[in-house]
Amino acid sequence: MSAPREKVDFKKKLGEVPHKPGVYLHRDRFGRVIYVGKARDLRKRLSHYFTPSRLMRADPKVRALIEAIHDFDWHVAGSEPEALLLEGKLIKEYRPRYNVSFRDDKRFLMVKVDVREEWPRFRLTRVKNPDDGARYFGPFAHSGALRQTLTFMRKRFGVLTFGRGSPTERERKSSTYQVPMKLAETTPEEYAERVAKACEFFEGQSKELLAPLEDEMRKAATNLDFERAAEIRNMLDDLRKTTKPMTRYTTTMRHRLKLPGAIDPATDLAELGEMLGLAGPPRRMECFDISNISTTHVVASMVCFIDGRPANHLYRRYRIKSIEGRQDDFASMAEVVRRRYTRTLREISECGMTNDEAESESSVVREHVDYSFSQEGNADIARRLTAGTNPQTANRNPQLPDLIIVDGGKGQLSSACAELQRLGLFDVPIIGLAKEFEEIYRPGKSQPMILDKDSGALKLLQRIRDEAHRWANGYHQLLMKRRIAESTLDDCPGVSESRKQALLRKFGSVARLRRTSAEAIAKVPGIGVKLAETIAQFLKERG
């Protein structure tokens, strides 16, 4: 048995977990897997284990599990059904002491068809024999949906389900198997064509068949036949669950799960640097995202990863100032990139030089520089000034990143590149990550780069992009809450817009104003004693 381990910093590690479906593994002090679980949102689910209130309310078994956890791993899945399948496989493999489900020999259902038979039948099975020459589809996480799908296939394609051997006399006469022609009049060769079409359906080629059902559902709803419409809707749900493409996890794929240790930042960084053709792994990365859920508050975020992990103390939030009353992602991205790196260059010059040196190197903070008499650009100057930084304090000092990531496609990337060029940062690597198809756009390249969805490099980019998105949305929600609170003063008698702004400048928020005495409120310019008493009483009643 390996030596006991120290508990990891759960709060710090939770910051790396994405808000995506997947599985998680809890480990004890010896590194043994003691629990495997699945989650629709990995970060939310894992955070529940490490809140003090959860430990106080938990039953003895859960309390024992929480106290035994020294570390945890996770793996992102494409969907909840994928997570369920992977959870079952990992529980059977590790047999964790705190898991109850999946500890027996029960397996997920699969569909088996032996096309070598004269009359192949689609049958349910839980065990796959790789040597029997049959075709297998699955496993399937939803057994009920799978059984409904088999019923649909039997009626739609006229294929045999269950049983064995040639069709019985009853099956030949059954109305179920008369599509597209009577089974009794069908040759084995013609029946094989039905089987081939049914196999294509199980492989996911089902769009052409689902479209007529959708039309039938809409017609039923139009004719007010809601019972029939609901029946077709449920059937469509079952068919989509069964035929939706899913990653099938096998023992040979286990190395791709990165267990033990779901994230390997050093490997992911090295792979990313190689994929993008950088001089080395991008040790410091900064990612930008715009949140413009409404035109009231357009905000942006910048998150920083160092050595592949979040550096929360370097996160920044921005309120976009250059556009009002409209949404313009390109202009917003240009503004935030300009503000971020104008300030970064200024801070580098202030930290790295004396006053005399700052005057001679003043080009580092100028946006428009004549480079015809200099071989050194702003990026070169900034790197030279920070070259001797103490490694122990480097992460807290202003530095240019090794890679800039913008959330978006060509438009956002072009806007950001234009601002970097104005600042003289010509050679700072930058990419755009478009969310819909996870395409990577690079300056000067017309075609996007598409990485394998299971590559560590892409997952690293997704983690930092998702973190920037979370940070931006959180700021947007905070501003909206403040705006809602501030609007309370609009209903207060005698409080004009100028007086409201004066009160908020003085006390910062309505919550603080509510805790303030009428005497203190009266000291604000433009607010008399009588109005101060009115405001205090008004907020007390609205509290």
235 and 204 fall within a common domain: yes
393 and 529 fall within a common domain: no
Question: What is the pTM (predicted TM-score) of this model?
Answer: 0.46
464 and 402 fall within a common domain: yes
Task: Identify whether 5 is part of a domain.
Answer: no
315 and 339 fall within a common domain: yes
171 and 209 fall within a common domain: yes
For the segment 226-266, what is each residue's pLDDT rounded down to a tens digit? 776 776 676 666 666 666 655 555 544 444 454 444 457 88
Look at residues 419, 412, 409 and name the one whose alpha carbon lies nearest to residue 447.
409
Specify the CATH number for the domain of residue 461. 3.30.420.340
Higher pLDDT, 528 or 352: 528
366 and 406 fall within a common domain: yes
pLDDT cut 70: percent of the chain above it = 73
8 Å CB contact between 325 and 443: no
Higher pLDDT, 496 or 336: 336
- The H or E element containing residue 424 is none
For the chain, give the mean pLDDT. 76
Task: Report residue 344 as tokens.
Answer: 């970064």
Task: Identify whether 414 is part of a domain.
Answer: yes
With bands split at pLDDT 50, 70 and 90, how would you rate the model's confidence at 361? very low
* Of the residues 30, 64, 94, the one at which a domain ends: 94
DSSP letter (8 states) at residue 91: H
Task: Identify whether 503 is part of a domain.
Answer: yes
**What is the average per-residue pLDDT within 103-116?**
69
Highest-confidence segment of 105-114, 230-239, 324-333:
324-333
Higher pLDDT, 12 or 3: 12
Task: Identify whether 258 is part of a domain.
Answer: no
- Whole-number pLDDT of residue 386: 64
Specify the CATH number for the domain of residue 14. 3.40.1440.10
76 and 128 fall within a common domain: no
Task: Identify whether 250 is part of a domain.
Answer: no
Look at residues 14, 71, 10, 17 and name the one whose alpha carbon lies nearest to residue 462.
17
Residue at 144: amino acid letter: G
80 and 180 fall within a common domain: no
What phi and psi, each to the nearest 5 degrees, are found at residue 331?
Answer: -65, -35
345 and 472 fall within a common domain: yes
pLDDT at 459 over 70: yes
Q: What is the distance between the alpha carbons of residues 177 and 160, in angstroms, rounded to a whole number? A: 8
Lowest-confidence segment of 134-138, 174-178, 252-256 by average pLDDT: 252-256
- Whole-number pLDDT of residue 340: 93
Q: What number of H helices and E strands is found in the chain?
A: 20, 14
- Whole-number pLDDT of residue 536: 87
Cis omega before residue 429 (within 30°)? no
Task: Identify whether 44 is part of a domain.
Answer: yes
Task: Name 243's Cβ contacts closer than 8 Å, sequence gap at least 6.
Answer: 149, 201, 202, 204, 206
Specify the CATH number for the domain of residue 532. 1.10.150.20
- Whole-number pLDDT of residue 339: 92
- Rg (C-alpha) for the chain, rounded Å, is 31
Higher pLDDT, 503 or 142: 503
327 and 465 fall within a common domain: yes
8 Å CB contact between 12 and 66: no
210 and 357 fall within a common domain: no
pLDDT at 438 over 60: yes
**What is the average per-residue pLDDT within 499-522?**
82
8 Å CB contact between 467 and 310: yes
Q: Where are the alpha helices (DSSP H) in 244-309?
A: 265-276
The structural domain count of the chain equals 4
Task: Report residue 129 as tokens.
Answer: 């024999």
Q: For 430-485, what is the HEC assignment?
A: EEEEECCCCEEECCCCCCCECCCCCCHHHHHHHHHHHHHHHHHHHHHHHHHHHHHH
Q: What is the distance between the alpha carbons of residues 534 and 532, in angstroms, rounded to a whole number? A: 5
120 and 176 fall within a common domain: yes
With bands split at pLDDT 50, 70 and 90, how would you rate the model's confidence at 430? very high
Q: What is the distance between the alpha carbons of residues 207 and 369, in angstroms, rounded to a whole number? A: 58
Task: Identify whether 139 is part of a domain.
Answer: yes
For the segment 383-409, what is each residue's pLDDT rounded down to a tens digit? 666 665 554 455 566 789 999 999 988
- Whole-number pLDDT of residue 252: 43
pLDDT at 314 over 50: yes
* Of the residues 480, 511, 528, the one at which a domain ends: 480
* Of the residues 212, 243, 274, the one at which a domain ends: 243
With bands split at pLDDT 50, 70 and 90, how would you rate the model's confidence at 505? confident
Q: What is the distance between the alpha carbons of residues 281 and 422, in angstroms, rounded to a whole number? A: 26
Task: Identify whether 299 is part of a domain.
Answer: yes
Domain carrying residue 521: 492-542
- Whole-number pLDDT of residue 242: 61
